[in-house]
């Protein structure tokens, strides 16, 4: 990178993808040294501070994220994407996981910053996710060669509608959807399903933890016993999933599953890993 990022500033785009919002950067605009890069991103987000008042973070893990994008040197790949999960009240930067939400913004960002040329109506590009070595194809509307952010696609957790982005994700080499080889395992007496599909997750029955699935995130976050139990399971699941000691990591995520409400096939409450 050239110049002083503090004095000169760093080009950045804020993009919502799915139910997350993140800061998108070109790799060439950030320091090459990971420690310098992470320190700069923490400063940009305003971490550590529960309000992130001195930065652009939104005081929640879903809005304290960064994507670093560059042209790919790999054959058949258009751009490389590195995801970073930044803490809110703790100065931590996680690179173990990827993020499908911010992946949705990589294509439009690549077009806006000139990494790829937009097609006349619809653009598709191949994205290598550096965190997991998975590859995705992103397809989105580009009428007249410009990204169209408007549309009629709506998702739970986000008000209004926006343009849809299709993501087709393929697993990287030597990856297994079920890292233990089992459909179910038992941890601390609870039946769990461990899944690694871009994001490592632990699936559990909500009823085993006294949860109906109708509780608000605030309600679940106010239950220290529940958080302690889930954290115990999470730490044991880490080594089983090949992640090693996950005490200081943001993966795997913990999902409590229950019967669907207001349509759909299933209801979920996600601990990511501590906020709900």
Residue 132: per-residue pLDDT: 86
CA 41/CA 30 separation, integer angstroms: 9
pLDDT tens, per residue, the chain with 276 residues: 767 888 889 999 999 999 999 999 999 999 999 999 999 999 999 999 999 999 999 999 999 999 999 999 999 999 999 999 999 999 999 998 889 999 999 999 999 999 999 999 999 999 999 998 889 999 999 999 999 999 999 998 899 999 999 999 875 556 688 999 999 999 999 999 999 877 899 999 999 999 999 999 999 999 999 999 999 999 999 999 999 999 988 889 999 999 998 788 999 999 988 889
CB contact at 8 A, 195 and 57: no
Residue 173: per-residue pLDDT: 57
> Is 185-271 a domain of CATH 3.10.310.10?
yes
Retrieve residue 117's tokens: 């040329």
CB environment 221-244: b (16+ within 10 A), e (fewer): eebeebbebbbebbbebbebbebe
Q: Where in the chain is the domain with CATH 3.10.310.10?
A: 5-170, 185-271
CATH code assigned to 5-170: 3.10.310.10
CB contact at 8 A, 199 and 254: no
């Amino acid at each position: 990178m050239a110049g002083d990022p503090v004095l000169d500033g760093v080009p950045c785009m804020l993009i919502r993808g799915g139910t997350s919002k993140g800061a998108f950067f070109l790799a060439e605009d950030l320091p090459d040294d990971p420690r310098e890069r992470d320190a700069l991103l923490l400063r940009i987000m305003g971490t550590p501070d529960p309000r992130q008042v001195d930065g652009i973070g939104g005081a929640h893990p879903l809005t304290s994220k960064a994507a670093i994008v560059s042209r790919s040197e790999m054959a058949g790949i258009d751009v490389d994407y590195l995801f970073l999960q930044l803490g809110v009240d703790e100065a931590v930067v996680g690179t173990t996981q990827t993020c499908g939400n911010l992946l949705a913004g990589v294509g439009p960002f690549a077009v806006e910053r000139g990494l790829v040329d937009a097609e006349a109506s619809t653009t598709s590009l191949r994205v290598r996710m550096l965190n997991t070595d998975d590859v995705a194809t992103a397809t989105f509307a580009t009428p007249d060669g410009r990204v169209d952010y408007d549309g009629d696609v709506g998702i739970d957790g986000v008000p209004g509608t926006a343009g849809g982005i299709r993501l087709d994700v393929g697993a990287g080499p030597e990856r297994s959807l079920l890292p233990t080889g089992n459909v179910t395992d038992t941890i601390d007496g609870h039946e769990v399903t461990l899944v690694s599909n871009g994001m490592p997750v632990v699936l559990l029955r909500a009823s085993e933890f006294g949860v109906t699935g109708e509780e608000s995130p605030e309600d679940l976050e106010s239950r220290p016993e529940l958080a302690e139990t889930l954290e115990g399971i999470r730490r044991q699941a880490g080594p089983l999933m090949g992640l090693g000691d996950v005490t200081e990591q943001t993966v795997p995520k913990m999902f409590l599953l229950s019967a669907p409400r207001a349509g759909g096939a299933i209801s979920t409450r996600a601990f990511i890993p501590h906020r709900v």
